[in-house]
């Protein structure tokens, strides 16, 4: 029973939990972006309520999906060990495994930390990201003549590596300033800037490669 339950838990963590975490963060991001309330405490309470709702949905789905997984795994195990096992034995094994799974869920998936370890920090991070996106200058519209250009000329005009590097550095500076003003952790701001530096190096490398190829 332990191996069957363990297999079901691993399956839930690899698929259902990963999906629910992504879904919850997407909903939290949408809530932060559409919120017109400047009161951080009110926004935090809304996010906590959202994550609590997502947690209850996760727990309900976990028990349902886990039970189905247990029935499948227990049936296969009994068929391999005891081909002539009576059906009451399978029902007993499934019941025992489901009880174990339910206890595991109560012990490990009982708080919103399973979806988000720090909701307040997540709120600050989402606020920073949202302000950077809002502060970014909108792209200039393309006219019909631009769209009819050959690929190489279009890229040279509208996807210039140099322009991309400049925009990246400007966005990085905005992110750093907004992040510190919002009170986001220094590690959050630094992590995003590190991603920017990596992208910067990648763009410059691509530009050098393109220049060498056309020389």
**Number of folded domains that form the chain:** 2
Same domain, 83 and 41: yes
Phi, psi of 142 (to 5 degrees): -95, 140
Same domain, 85 and 123: no
| Distance separating alpha carbons of residues 188 and 122, to the nearest angstrom | 10
Q: Using the 8-state DSSP alphabet, how is residue 141 labeled?
A: P
Instruction: Tell me what the mean pLDDT of segment 196-208 comes to.
Output: 48
Same domain, 127 and 144: yes
The model carries a pTM of 0.62
- 87 pLDDT above the threshold of 50: yes
Q: What is the pLDDT of residues 3-44, one digit of tens each?
A: 999 999 999 999 999 999 999 999 999 999 988 766 889 999
| Distance separating alpha carbons of residues 134 and 204, to the nearest angstrom | 26
| Distance separating alpha carbons of residues 71 and 80, to the nearest angstrom | 14
Same domain, 167 and 193: yes
Of 65, 98, 114, which marks where a domain is finished?
114
Same domain, 62 and 146: no
- Per cent of the chain over pLDDT 70 is 59
Average pLDDT over the chain, rounded to an integer: 76
Instruction: Write out the residue range of the structural domain in which residue 6 sits.
Output: 2-114
Same domain, 123 and 99: no
Of 114, 142, 158, which marks where a domain is finished?
114
Phi, psi of 196 (to 5 degrees): -65, -40
Same domain, 49 and 104: yes
Tell me the Cα Rg of the chain.
Answer: 26
Four-residue CA torsion sign, 81, 82, 86, 88: negative
Same domain, 16 and 101: yes
Same domain, 178 and 99: no
Q: What is the pLDDT of residues 128-185, one digit of tens each?
A: 887 655 555 455 554 555 555 566 665 555 555 555 555 555 556 555 555 555 555 5
Instruction: Tell me what the mean pLDDT of segment 101-130 comes to.
Output: 93
Same domain, 86 and 125: no
Place of tokens 């190489």: 152
- Per cent of the chain over pLDDT 90 is 42
Instruction: Tell me what the mean pLDDT of segment 90-108 comes to.
Output: 92
């Amino acid at each position: 029973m332990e191996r069957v339950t363990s297999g079901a838990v691993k399956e839930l963590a690899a698929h259902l939990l990963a999906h629910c975490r992504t879904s919850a963060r997407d909903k939290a991001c949408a809530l932060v972006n559409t919120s017109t309330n400047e009161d951080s405490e009110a926004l935090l309470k809304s996010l906590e309520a959202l994550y609590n709702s997502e947690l209850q949905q996760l727990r309900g789905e976990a028990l349902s999906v886990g039970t189905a997984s247990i029935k499948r795994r227990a049936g296969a195990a009994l068929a391999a060990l005891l081909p002539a096992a009576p059906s009451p034995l399978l029902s007993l094994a499934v019941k025992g495994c489901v009880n174990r799974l339910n206890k595991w869920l109560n012990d490990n998936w009982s708080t919103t930390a399973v979806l988000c370890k720090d909701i307040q920090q997540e709120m600050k991070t989402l606020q920073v990201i949202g302000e950077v996106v809002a502060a970014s200058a909108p792209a200039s519209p393309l006219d019909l003549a631009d769209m009819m250009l050959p690929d190489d000329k279009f890229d040279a005009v509208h996807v210039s590596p140099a322009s991309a590097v400049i925009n990246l550095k400007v966005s990085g500076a905005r992110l750093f300033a907004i992040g510190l003003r919002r009170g986001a952790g220094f590690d959050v701001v630094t992590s995003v800037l590190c991603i920017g530096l990596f992208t910067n190096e990648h763009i410059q490398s691509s530009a050098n490669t393109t220049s060498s190829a056309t020389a």
